[in-house]
């Protein structure tokens, strides 16, 4: 397998993982919104309410930075990262 094909395979693996986490916190948990709201979440808010106000939103921020770092590592591993930027 060529270097480029390997790079793309890893990139696709990362994409699938990222989208899986994204799916859980944007769609998955809200299938059980009513049940989850009976529980108490962080800071004492009802759990589903907390996810819609802060939880999911914050997780998305962290997820994007995590994804960006992982992708950079993959690019470096195959020597595909850009030189001399930011």
Partner 1 sequence: MIKGNFIDNLPKVYGIYTGGFLAFIIIMAIGEQMGMTSKTIGICFVAFTVAIYAIIGYLSRTAQADAYYVAGRQVPTVFNGMATAADWMSGASFVAMAGGIYFKGYGYMALLVGWTGGYVLVASLLAPYLRKFGCYTVPDFIGTRYGGNLTRFLAVVVLTVASFTYVTAQINATGTIASVALDIPFQYAVYVGLVSILLCSMLGGMRGVTWTQVAQYIVLIIAYLLPVFWISNKMGAGFFPHFMLADEVARIGELEQQFGFVKNSAGDLANVPKGLAGITKAHSAVNATPWAFISLALAMMMGTASLPHVMMRYFTTPSVKAARKSVGWSLFFIFLLYSSAPMLATLSKLSLIDPSLPTGIIGKSIAEVQAIDWYQNWNQANLMFVSDFNGNGTLELNEFFMGGKAVVLATPEIAGLPYVISGLVAAGGMAAAMSTADGLILAIANAISHDVYYKIIDPKAETAKRLVVARVLLVVIGFAGATIAAMEIQGILGSVIWAFDFAMSGLFFPLVLGVWWKRANREGAIAGMALGLISGAGYLIWVRNGGSGFLGITQLTFGIFGSAVSLVAMVVVSLITSEPSAATQRMVDEVRVPAGRSILGKQ
Instruction: Spell out the SS3 assignment of the chain.
Output: CCHHHHHHHHHHHHHHHHHHHHHHHHCHHHHHHHHHCCCECHHHCEHHHHHHHHHHHHHHHHHHHHHHHHHHHHHHHCCCCCCCCC
In the complex with partner 1, which residue's Cβ is closer, 1 or 79?
A: 79
Please give the residue ranges that form the binding site for partner 1 (CB under 8 A): 4, 7-8, 11, 14-15, 18-19, 22, 25-27, 30-34, 37, 43-46, 48-49, 51-54, 56-58, 60-61, 63-65, 67-68, 71-72, 75, 78-83, 85-86
Name the minimum Å distance from CB 7 to partner 1: 7
Name the minimum Å distance from CB 45 to partner 1: 5
């Amino acid at each position: 397998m060529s270097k480029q094909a390997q790079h793309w395979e890893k990139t696709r693996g990362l994409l699938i993982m990222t989208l899986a986490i994204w799916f859980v916190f944007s769609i998955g948990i809200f299938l059980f919104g009513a049940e989850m709201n009976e529980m108490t979440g962080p800071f004492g808010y009802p759990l589903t309410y907390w996810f819609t106000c802060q939880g999911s939103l914050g997780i998305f921020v962290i997820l994007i930075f995590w994804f960006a770092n992982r992708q950079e590592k993959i690019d470096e591993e195959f020597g595909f990262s850009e030189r001399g930027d930011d």
